Structure 1
Amino acid sequence: MKLTAAACLAGILLLAGCAGTGTPSSSSSSPSPSSPPTAGGTGAAASRAAPIYPSGQLAPIASSEARSQSVVTLAPPADMWDRIRRGFKMPDLDSDLVRDREQWYASRPDYIQRMTERSNKYIFHIVEELERRNMPTELALLPYIESAFNPQAVSSARAAGMW
């Protein structure tokens, strides 16, 4: 059965809204994109310090200088689902077809779990490319609807692959 675009989007929205990693994220504990994490603690002075990038010849620094300089931490996002939700750009749909697909996915948590586990190899890279191209991150969820993230999927029309 070929799903319509509205049904696909309904499933995508359900997956993005209901799925999680099991660890709730807290907006108060994560840094905002405009203020990178710092190494000097969590006080007001440490959060205002801008990162320092070396220029010219590198020379050893004293330990007192090292404590006063901030370091930008390059850590992956703690919650990929939160990252995907922040990049939503498509308008929400509200129709009977959308509600039907939401109910279908909501009644199959084991299926959602299998798809989510299968997506672990791919979702980070897909989101990276969507963000790089300034595209809606809802598109990262399309393989959930099209193939359940099965790279060997073949449709009745003989279309093959996740997409």
Structure 2
Amino acid sequence: MKEAVITDTLGVFRETTLVTDDVAGVFPIYGHPELPQVEGEEDAPQGSEVDSEEATPEPVLTGYQIAMPVTPGLYVPKWDFEAEAWVEALTPEEIEELKKPQQPVSVYERVSQLEAENASLKASAARQNEDFQNYMEFSMQEQAALKEQQARMNADFQELIESIAT
């Protein structure tokens, strides 16, 4: 296993992930935008005239997975799609600002910062958990639909066998 980088649509570093050693290159990541709830839509009977194809939005590009080593020494890595290399996303002025010595932070300020960071991490974990739950529900629905389809096909096949035998 090796590390790959997840970027936003501009190629700016967001997080890391693990990929198998044989993966190399740049891969787009697609997601589905949230559907707005149409008033009265929840009351529509199943199988109504609303076409499910129309209700499903097209996937949108949400970022990239880049399985190329990040150049050491970058403050905020950004993938340059034309040069196919990692570059610095920060301006020289932003880097100078980072290099300035920071004022000492009081214990109370630091605790406050850590509490805010903790709340942010909890919210992120909750979002990821919700995404996983949604994926699992979708997967289970798809599996149930496939089982139903298989059962219908088995019944049709059995009828065909019986009709041939008689």
Band the TM-score falls in, shorter-chain normalisation = under 0.3
Higher alpha-carbon Rg:
2
Q: Which has the higher contact order (CA 8 A, sep 6+)?
A: 1
Q: TM-score, normalised by structure 1?
A: 0.20
Q: TM-score, normalised by structure 2?
A: 0.19
Question: Greater share of strand residues, 1 or 2?
Answer: 2
